[in-house]
Structure 1
Amino acid sequence: MSDTDFEPLTVTYEHLRHSEDSAELSEFARRELPDRADQAAFSRATALLEAVGGNAHTPVEDRIFLAETMPFPNVLVKLAADPEPDVRKAVAGNESDKNWLVGRLTKDQVPEVRDTALRNGKTSWKMRLEGAQNPEVDAATLAFLATLGTELEPKAPAVLSSMVRRAVALNPNTTPETLAKLADDPSAEVRHAVAKRRARE
C-alpha cells in the first residue's frame, strides 16, 4: 500500500488534480480498479480518476484510454470537456455514456467528434434527427443514419427512425448512393423526400 492510501480522499484528489507529474498521473490512469465488492476502495478510485482525467498534465494517450474504457459519468464528463478533440472523440464513441452526454457531443465544434457521437447507440432520436438535418454532417455519418430502423436497429420506433431517414434524404451532403437506397425505403415519407430532393436537382 502506498502512503496515499491513508490520505483523506480530498487531499489525494487535490494533489492529483494539480499534479504536473505526468508519470504519476499516467500510472494512476492505468491502475487496475479495486473489486466492486470493496465499495469504499472502488468509489475512492473512481473519484481519483476524475481528478486524473481532468488534469491537462495527464498524457493525452492516457486521457484517451480513460475516455474509451471508463463507464463512470463523473470521469466521462470531465473528459468530454477536454481541449484535445481526440479525447472528446473517444468519449463520443464510448457506449457507456449517458444519452445526455453523447447529446452534448453531437454539438461539438469538431466534425469528427460530432460524427462519432451520432453513431453512438446511446444517442437519443432527437439528437439523431438534428444530426440528420445538419448540413455539416459528413456523408459517411448520413449513410449510417440512413440505415437506422431498417438495416440497423430494426426494432426502433418506426415513426422516429423514418423521420431521421427522411431528414437524411433531404440533407445536401447525402450521396447519390445513399439516396438510391432510400428510394426503396419502406416508409412512404422517406421515398417522397427522395423524390422531392431529386426534383430539386
Structure 2
Amino acid sequence: MTPLEEGPLKTAIDALGERLGFSVKKIFVLDASKRSTKLNAYFSGIGHQKEVVLFDTLIAKLTEAEILAVLAHELGHATHKDTLKGLFRTLLLLFVYVGMLTVILLNPILFKAFGLSGVHFGFTLVLMFILLEPVQILISLFTNYESRKAEYKADRFAALNTSKDAMISALRKLTVENFSNLTPHPLYVKIHYSHPPIASRIESIERG
C-alpha cells in the first residue's frame, strides 16, 4: 500500500469524512491490479478515527463521485454500528458451537453408538460438524437477512449523503467488474447471500 497523493480525490475524501463526523487519518492505495480485477474499498480503525484503503482498480474504473459514494456506504456501516452488531452475532454463533460441542462430549453413548469405547475428541469435531449442517442453514437465514438489511441501510445512507445517481452507477460498475450474478434465485439469496442482488439494491435506492 502507498499513501494517496495530494489532489482533488484526497481532498474530497477528507471533506466527506469531516462532514459525516469521521476523522480520516490516512488514505492508502492498494496495488490490487496485479492479482485481481475486482474493485473494492474499505475503512479500518476504531470509533471515529478511520484509515481509508482504496484498490487501484477502484480508482481506475470509478469516477470521483462514485468513489465517494462507495466510501459513504462504508461510513454508513460505521454510523449504524454494523461491525459491532456483526461481532455480537459471531459471538452468539460461537456460543452455539461451544454448546453443541459440550453436549456431545457429555454424552458418551453417542460414541458407543459408533463403535468407540469412550469419548474421542477428534470424532467429536466430526460429529459436531455433521449435526451443525441443518442448524447452520437456520442460522445463515437469520445472519444473512440482517446483513442484507444493513446493506440496504448503508446504500440509502450513501445516496443521501453523496449522490443517488453516483451510488447507483457505482453499484452497476462494481457488479460488472466483480462478475456478480445479476439474477440469482430468491431462495438462494435468502440462504447464501450476505449482500442483496444489484437490482434490489438499486430499486431500494430509487425508492429513497
Q: Which category of TM-score, normalised to the shorter sequence, fits these structures?
A: under 0.3
Q: Which has the higher contact order (CA 8 A, sep 6+)?
A: 2
Give 1 or 2: higher strand fraction. Answer: 2
TM-score by length of 1: 0.21
